[in-house]
Amino acid sequence: MSNNMLEIKTAIQIQKPVETVFEAIIDPEKMKNYFISKSSGRMEEGKQIFWKFPEFDEEFPIRVSKVESNSYISYYWEADGKELLVEISLSPTDNNSTLVTVTEKSMENNEAGIKWLKGNTEGWANFLTCLKAYLEYGINLRKGAFDFMKK
């Protein structure tokens, strides 16, 4: 990454096996419990799907790039008219836990890029926290969390 480009990288350890975490990320029925409200399908390599989030009226197109069972998922989505790459890496850790790392790239290091960096870094930290709460405790942290955005 050059100094002219910005990239997001966030990570969290989840106390569940890598297979469980992987399924929670690619299966829309599981994703509804911590991230999206609706999906047109399962994340599969080469497939285009649409996600709906509870706090937004529109659907967002997702172009799934690569899926490696239990280790890696990548897809493209749009931000500010630019298609951005999201990569999710899963690594087994001690005690049958999983390190989940999310990288999103990239935007220019300018005012629009800094706004994206702030908003999406916050978003990915929220994604990881919600994923952890759902998998470890069965809690949907997003339920009602963003109702204020609809007003």
Among 124, 34, 122, CA closest to 88: 124
Is the CATH number 3.40.50.2000 carried by domain 5-146?
no
All structural domains of the chain with their residue ranges: 5-146
Average pLDDT taken over every residue of the chain = 93
Distance CA 116, CA 107 (A): 8
Residue 96 to residues 34, 58, 83, Cα–Cα distance (Å): 21, 38, 35
Dihedral, CA of residue 43, residue 34, residue 134 and residue 119, to nearest 10: 100
Name the token pair of 117.
Answer: 């960096």
Is residue 151 pLDDT above 70, yes or no?
no
pLDDT classification of 41: cutoffs 50, 70, 90:
very high
Q: ∠86-34-93 over CA atoms, to 5°?
A: 65
What percent of the chain shows pLDDT beyond 90? 83
Q: What is the per-residue pLDDT across 106-134, written as a single tens digit (0 to 9) for each?
A: 999 999 999 999 999 999 999 999 999 99
pLDDT, position 23 = 98
